[in-house]
Structure 1
């Protein structure tokens, strides 16, 4: 008789993964995430939802040690300087940088939203005008996304959805992660332009994330607010 995976089993696996996950400050440099496992992580990012389905982010996977070193002087959240280690940049199996799109592509006046709807989402031609009108209303009337900074921040929020999903999927496979906001965004953007060929008019760094296997146990136990402190029922 085949084993049956129940809903309770899945629920337990999910909670175990969230209990397992912590922001790993340093990884075991001798252990590598397999190509197959990292492919699943990338698929989790690719299949993540986004506002209007526009996927306004890109992901750089930085594996070249020399290129990682370029980030160290201003990426204090991954350099190890906060805890006296080699940090995530030097020890992670894989290191990613989520880039958010800017107003150059995500304005309702730019070509990208309509092109994406037609070529990626495969919307019929007769739907495109309605889609574009809804997106324009959302930006100008509903959320009042007007400035370049507001547009980039909105795009970054979509990247964070993918970030959360890749960390959860990694945890379910026993792979450690660490989301990283400890970096100078302007200096990162300058290095990305000079050494990675990333046009700062089109993309801005939103958040970094490291993957690997923890070098030791978490420094502190996991603590969170109680359910009654975060959820209100009406």
Structure 2
């Protein structure tokens, strides 16, 4: 008889209310429904020696802004195809073969000027020569922490063919250049965590062809109250 009673008790537990779930969400920061094509090899424009941040994509401002706290786990690049002559020229002019890394930027409301950003996290550096002419995703060896309101930018210590050009004015990006927006040779890339840079240079009618994969931090489910239980607390 005892065995039967124990079995009935176990069955009752199994038929109880299911435990609430706490799920993370997956975001592709910078994703757009409007397809674009990189400019190279025809009329080839590249990003050089700076950290690049998309600030407007088809009217959406700061499209790489994190909507929640979480971790960034991968970088996706749409890379232009270049001729050997173009590759040789850019390698020689901008300090070596094309390389990129993802940078998480934070902006304090107390900071002045307004477009001053601090690098809070960075991925490893990716050498992209073997992937020119393709769309490639790089998973990170270590995921990057990101907070709600932070943005993700692309740091380019040398050069990278990641630009779609001749778009309308609802597209634009900024570079970590405090001045000299036509100076494409001087090194201005944010390559150190904790460094601050002013993003004063705006380049309109163009789009950076990168996105970042982010997983939000799951929040504990709210405690549910059983309506059948009466409050027996004595008030004074």
Shorter chain as denominator, the TM-score bin is under 0.3
| Rg larger for | 2
Q: Which has the higher helix share?
A: 1
Give TM-score scaled by structure 1 length: 0.26
Give TM-score scaled by structure 2 length: 0.26
Q: Which has the higher strand share?
A: 2
